Amino acid sequence: MTLPMSPSSHRTAQSGQLAHAVCFWLRPDCPAGTAQAMLDFYRTEVAPLDGIVLVIAGTPRTATRDVVDDSYDLAVTTLFASTAAEEAWQSHPVHDRFRERFGPWFARVLVHDTCVTWESRGN
């Protein structure tokens, strides 16, 4: 199964793409190394898939402002070529394997989907 690509997909955000940001809170009893194993899975299994433009993943920065939530363990933002590509991801076998392997260790998952309307690059 491949994810639909937009004809103009490249490694920066463009109008029409979808940014899928997921924060994971892991259960206290999850095995040591679970967060790293999740990152490795995204790097090796998810990032190379057609329809995925970019994957950014990491751990929270210690918050210095009240409006910042740093209580999660791991965050992954996947930039999909289109909303159709993200919708295809929801039933993709790689996504199923991720949920089967790591889902039992999730205490909480929070998703924010953003339809990209523009992008700007810094200096």
Cα–Cα distance for residue pair 45/17, rounded to 1 Å: 21
What CATH topology corresponds to 18-61+71-110?
Alpha-Beta Plaits (3.30.70)
Map out the domains of the chain as residue ranges: 18-61+71-110
Cα–Cα distance for residue pair 63/92, rounded to 1 Å: 34
pLDDT 10s digits, 68-82 = 999 999 999 999 999
Residue 81, CA distances (Å) to 27, 87, 106 in order: 32, 11, 27
Over pLDDT 70: what percentage of the chain?
A: 86
What does the angle CA 58 – CA 44 – CA 42 come to, to the nearest 5 degrees?
35
Whole-prediction pTM: 0.85
